[in-house]
Amino acid sequence: MHYGIVPPFLLDRVAAADQPHLARAARAARHTLIAPREYRPRRTQLELSVEGGTLVARTEPSPDRTIADAAGTETLPGVTVRTEDRPPVADSTVNQAFDGLGATFDFFWEAYRRDSIDGCGLPLDATVHYGHDYDNAFWNGERMVFGDGDGDVFVGFTGSLTVIAHELTHGVTEASGGLDYQGQSGALNESISDVFGVLAEQSAHNQSVDEASWLIGAGILAPGIDGVALRSLKAPGTAYDDRVLGKDPQPATMAGFVHTSEDSGGVHINSGIPNHAFYLAAVAIGGRAWERAGRIWYRAVTAGTLPKDADFATFAHATLAAAQAEYGVDAKEVAAVRAAWTSVGVLAHAESPAH
């Protein structure tokens, strides 16, 4: 499973670039596509200690972060350069990764009382400076891995909290039962990571639904690239329109659903549909999106009732059920969620909320 923030179809386009000034970027993209990214799912156990004969469990969780430096190699984990008991270092990439992991931890704990990725205090490990001109960042099941980008198309990935939170949310989804990384269930997997990626950023900046950018990966495109981010939840299909990257292919509704065998059945493309449904629901509910709309999505993801092959309609009904359980059958939150899924064409107008 390759949970990279940059989808393979974008790397394919960069790899095919024939402009002389993009030769380095093309080489970097080709190598990024073939570089090893072994997925390593890891089970963890709740850590308990005995103090003075008494069994003690941590009651106020805090992150346990370790940042390693691969120093341009593709060997993990690399050399440890910062831990919880060490101050900031001279390398800003290390500090950005450290701070981003902490902000993501704080978001999940403060918003949903979730203690790290697995809910049981999983240590947050990361490796920076992975590979040479490596054009991606990914979660491999046990750590976050960051490339530095090629400098011409993509730049360092550690400066975007949405990237970090997106990738770590793949771990939350896995710990909650998982979604097959293929077709609609795979697009849901990607969308859920996008949703909590933007929510982590909004929470960190205390932004309302109207103040937020709703962008994933803002700041990772190099100067000169015609685009603002990798994806937009507010307006799928508008994040970039560039001669190298092409035009953002994400649809906002089922009318534009892309049938393809590439990208695991279009998981990074068709995720625009559930992404936009969340945006519409959050704006209709109003306020700070992580508080109510986000809670509904979080409850749907972590309830343990989603089948691994859930399609968009199955997930839509799961969010309706979560909204009803949280706020009541006749609540405006339920109406907002139903209207959102109807607007993107996942639910029909005649369908009623699940009871």
Q: CB neighbours of 99 closer than 8 A, spacing ≥ 6?
A: none
Q: Residue 167 catalytic? A: yes
Bridge partners of 69?
Answer: 79, 128
Residue 334 and residue 325 in contact, taking contact as beta carbons nearer than 8 Å = no
| Integer angstrom CA distances of residue 157 from 22, 141, 163, 287 | 19, 18, 7, 29
The DSSP secondary structure of 135-163, one letter per residue, reads --EEE-SS-EEE----SSSB--STT-HHH
Candidate list 268, 276, 317, 333, residue with the active-site label: 268
Candidate list 129, 142, 167, 174, residue with the active-site label: 167
Kindly give the residue spans of alpha helices, DSSP state H, lying in the chain.
8-15, 23-34, 92-112, 161-175, 183-204, 263-266, 272-285, 293-302, 312-327, 332-343
Distance (Å, whole) CA 147 – CA 134: 5
Task: Respond yes or no on whether the N-terminal peptide bond of residue 20 is cis (omega within 30° of 0).
Answer: no
Q: Residue 259 catalytic? A: no
Bridge partners of 231?
Answer: 216
Q: Catalytic residue numbers?
A: 167, 268
